[in-house]
Amino acid sequence: MTEPRGKRQNIMTENSISLSTHNGIVIPDNWAGYNLDVFSLPSHYCEDLECVFIPHGVIEDRTERIANEIMKDLGDNHITVLCVLKGGYRFCTDLVEHIKNLSRNSERFISMRVDFIRLRSYCNDTCMDEMQIIGGDDLSKLSGKNVLIVEDIISTGRTMSALLSHLGKYNPKMVKVASLLVKRSDSNNGFKPDYIGFEIPNKFVVGYALDYNEHFRDLHHICVINENGKLKYKV
Beta pairing, strands 126-134 & 111-123:
antiparallel
CATH of domain 57-202: 3.40.50.2020
Return per-residue pLDDT of the chain as tens, 235 residues. Answer: 444 544 333 334 444 555 555 678 999 999 999 999 999 899 899 899 999 999 999 999 999 999 999 999 998 889 999 999 888 999 999 999 999 999 888 888 889 999 998 876 555 555 555 666 765 557 888 899 999 999 999 988 888 998 898 889 999 999 999 999 999 987 777 889 999 999 999 999 999 999 999 999 999 999 999 999 999 999 8
Bridge partner residues of 178 (DSSP): 150, 195
Q: What is the pTM (predicted TM-score) of this model?
A: 0.84
Buried b or exposed e, range 197-215, using 16+ CB within 10 angstroms: bbbbbebbbbbbbbbbeeb
DSSP conformational letter for 87: T
